[in-house]
């Protein structure tokens, strides 16, 4: 029974990943066949030229050593990022606009009562505004975007650090697709990107803790230090993006399954490990709890914005929007006004659940399943991570300014299809790698896959409908992709038999 549960979960994860890959393959981002053919043809010709080019072995070796230099990778990434920040920065729209102006002292007093989940981002922006203002920096938007760049670069460094330890080799250039896909989002300072270094820190510290149980390499003092870092990182991630707590839930679920399927062989060993695990978990909870109490005190005593807990959107509201067929599970003005019409949380929950039941009855089981398939497509198919579906700016930026660079990224840009095609091909490679990660059956990788399952189910049930919501878990997705391709490469090198079929993957379980 225990093994059946584990295998069943793996089958669900694999199924969702396969249909996500199919969705990416049929994405409208590849609709421009001319650009698609041109880019693919160029890559093939370039590869063939490199393959037949008669280069001396000593030159090949020197070139290889040159490109392996860390400073070269970071120089290329930084140059690309700075170019986009300078060229694409404009006035952001939607929630990011409201939060930024509140941080600058022009608050929307009603917004943070309805969406208190964005208070963490507000306090971060306010802190940055005070510092930049004291330094005499007048362009706060540009300053935020450069700070956003630092957040993403810290994430890249942490992913590189983890993969170097896990794969026992440095794959710096293997991180360029990560930087490439997130680069346009540098100019949108929002919780999607600011949460990334904390998500990456959670991954690294969890790995270090799990490694200790295998190798006993750390002292108790270092273990508790890592536990505190995990608790602090979890709080910061939760404060900026509450849905990142899915990662913690995935850890608990996978560890529970692991203990059920593979119990401790000896009672004495179990007692020792349980005592140590208990202390580590206590430090994590204490670190998280202390900061959470501090946040509560800050919210209660701050005067920057008004916060009325009686009108806050309840989780049921986001489930209601997530099943709205008219909006495709995206934000709905009708559902927003419906939920805000109630006077208190109890009445809102009651009204929301009543409408949810009515919608389920009206839609029917078959149509709801069909709706979920379509929603999963909109959740996961876009390789630009929603750049093509979200209007990030409060007004359409001019294509006359920084004309060449903007033509690749902005609406109606003459070269936008080039970016869309490259981003989509990159996304297809990433999703394929995540599927190949099933070749790795380690506990840590299973936790990462469980968190991907949690995110995909969350986006199906709650508000979704755009690939932008994947950004918060992009470190998890990308790490799985790199591990997957690495595992496939090892099997090719060792000539281990690989049969690409659903049954062959199922046998892994």
Q: How many CA atoms lie within 13 A of 459 on its CB side?
A: 26
Cα Rg of the chain (Å, integer): 24
Please tell me the pTM assigned to this model.
Answer: 0.90
One pLDDT digit (tens) per residue for the chain, 509 residues:
667 777 888 899 999 999 999 999 999 888 776 666 766 677 677 666 655 556 565 555 666 677 778 888 889 999 999 999 999 988 887 888 899 999 998 877 789 999 999 999 999 999 999 999 999 999 999 999 999 999 999 999 999 999 999 998 888 888 999 999 999 999 999 999 999 999 999 999 999 998 887 666 667 788 889 999 999 999 999 999 999 999 999 999 998 888 776 655 554 445 545 677 788 899 999 999 999 999 999 999 888 898 888 899 999 999 999 999 999 999 999 999 999 999 899 999 999 999 999 999 999 999 999 999 999 999 999 999 988 665 566 566 677 788 889 888 887 778 888 899 999 999 999 999 999 999 998 999 999 999 999 999 999 999 998 899 999 999 999 999 999 999 998 888 776 655 444 444 444 44
Question: Which H or E element spans position 149?
Answer: helix 140-167
Q: Are 377 and 23 in contact (CB under 8 A)?
A: yes
The span from the CA of 107 to the CA of 241, in Å, is 20
344-351's contacts with Cβ under 8 Å and 24+ in sequence apart are 344/310, 345/309, 345/310, 345/312, 345/314, 348/313, 348/314, 348/316, 348/317, 349/314, 349/316
The domain segmentation of the chain, as residue ranges, is 1-44+365-509
């Amino acid at each position: 029974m225990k093994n059946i549960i584990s295998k069943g979960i793996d089958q669900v994860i694999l199924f969702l990943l396969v249909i996500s890959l199919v969705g990416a393959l049929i994405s409208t981002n590849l609709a421009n066949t001319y650009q698609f053919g041109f880019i693919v043809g160029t890559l093939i010709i370039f590869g063939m030229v490199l393959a037949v080019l008669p280069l001396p072995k000593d030159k090949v070796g020197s070139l290889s050593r040159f490109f392996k230099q860390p400073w070269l990778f970071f120089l290329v990434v930084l140059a690309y990022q700075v170019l986009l920040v300078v060229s694409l920065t404009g006035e952001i729209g939607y929630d990011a606009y409201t939060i930024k102006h509140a941080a600058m002292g022009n608050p929307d007093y009603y917004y943070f009562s309805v969406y208190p989940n964005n208070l963490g981002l507000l306090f971060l922006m306010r802190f940055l505004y005070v510092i930049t203002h004291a330094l005499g920096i007048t362009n706060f938007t540009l300053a935020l975007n450069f700070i956003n760049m630092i957040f993403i670069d810290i994430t890249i460094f942490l992913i590189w650090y983890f993969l170097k330890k896990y794969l026992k080799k440095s794959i710096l250039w293997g991180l360029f697709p990560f930087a490439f896909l997130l680069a346009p989002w540098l100019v949108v300072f929002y919780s999607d990107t600011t949460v990334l270094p904390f998500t990456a820190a959670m991954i690294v510290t969890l790995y270090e803790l799990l490694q200790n149980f295998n190798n006993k390499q750390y002292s108790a003092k270092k273990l508790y230090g890592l536990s505190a870092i995990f608790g602090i990182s979890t709080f910061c991630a939760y404060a900026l993006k509450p849905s990142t707590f899915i990662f913690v839930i995935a850890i608990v679920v996978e560890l529970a399954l692991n203990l059920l399927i593979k119990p401790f062989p000896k009672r004495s060993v179990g007692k020792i490990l349980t005592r140590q695990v208990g202390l580590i978990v206590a430090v994590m909870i204490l670190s998280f709890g202390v900061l959470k109490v501090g946040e509560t005190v800050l919210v209660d005593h701050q005067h920057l914005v008004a916060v009325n807990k009686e009108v806050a959107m309840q989780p049921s509201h986001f489930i209601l929007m997530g099943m709205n067929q008219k909006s495709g599970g995206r934000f709905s003005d009708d559902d927003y006004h419906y939920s805000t019409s109630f006077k208190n949380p109890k009445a809102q929950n009651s009204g929301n659940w009543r409408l949810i039941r009515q919608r389920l009855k009206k839609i029917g089981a078959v149509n709801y399943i069909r709706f979920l398939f379509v929603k999963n497509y909109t959740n996961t198919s876009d390789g630009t991570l929603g750049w093509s579906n979200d209007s990030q700016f409060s007004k359409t930026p001019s294509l006359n300014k920084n004309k060449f660079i903007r033509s690749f990224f902005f609406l109606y840009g003459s070269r936008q299809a080039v970016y869309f095609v490259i981003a989509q091909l990159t996304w297809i490679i990433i999703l394929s790698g995540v599927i190949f990660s099933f070749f790795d059956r380690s506990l840590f990788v299973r936790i990462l896959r469980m968190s991907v399952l949690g995110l995909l189910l969350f986006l199906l049930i709650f508000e979704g409908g755009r690939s932008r919501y994947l950004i918060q878990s992009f470190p998890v997705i990308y790490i799985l992709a790199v591990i997957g391709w690495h595992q496939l490469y090892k099997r090719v090198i060792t000539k281990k038999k690989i049969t690409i079929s659903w049954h062959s993957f199922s046998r892994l379980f």
